[in-house]
Amino acid sequence: MTPNIYDIVRTSLEIAPKIIFFLPRTLDLTELCEIIETVLKEKGMDSENIFFDVHVLKSANKIKALMIIFSLTLEEVIILFILSNIICFCY
């Protein structure tokens, strides 16, 4: 079963405008950017600048997933990155 990235993005943006995704390693980042831009336009949100922080998650030296922090401002991406590292460190 392949996840429908469009539905994931659309549903996520309904829940919160600042998102951290854990997505399959086979994800095409260009496609993700296009999907996010489309969803933002559908919602009437500004999509001129979209900021991402992409992390490759490995286990046993193999890529397992991508963690993608997304926001419309660079400052929010930086804050989410710091918070995600604090949360991961606590576990």
Handedness of CA 38, 31, 59, 55 (dihedral sign): negative
Q: Please report the domains of the chain, with CATH numbers, ordered by start residue.
A: 5-90 (3.30.110)
Contacts of 32 (CB under 8 A, 6+ apart): 5, 9, 23, 68
Mean per-residue pLDDT over the chain, rounded: 75
Q: Judge contact between 61 and 86, C-beta under 8 A.
A: no
Q: For residue range 40-82, list pLDDT tens digits in order.
A: 888 787 767 777 778 788 888 888 777 777 777 788 878 777 7
pLDDT band at 88; cut points 50, 70, 90:
low
Give the sheet arrangement for strand 51-59, strand by strand.
Answer: 19-24, 62-71, 51-59
**What pLDDT shows up at residue 63?**
80
Question: Whole-model pTM?
Answer: 0.62
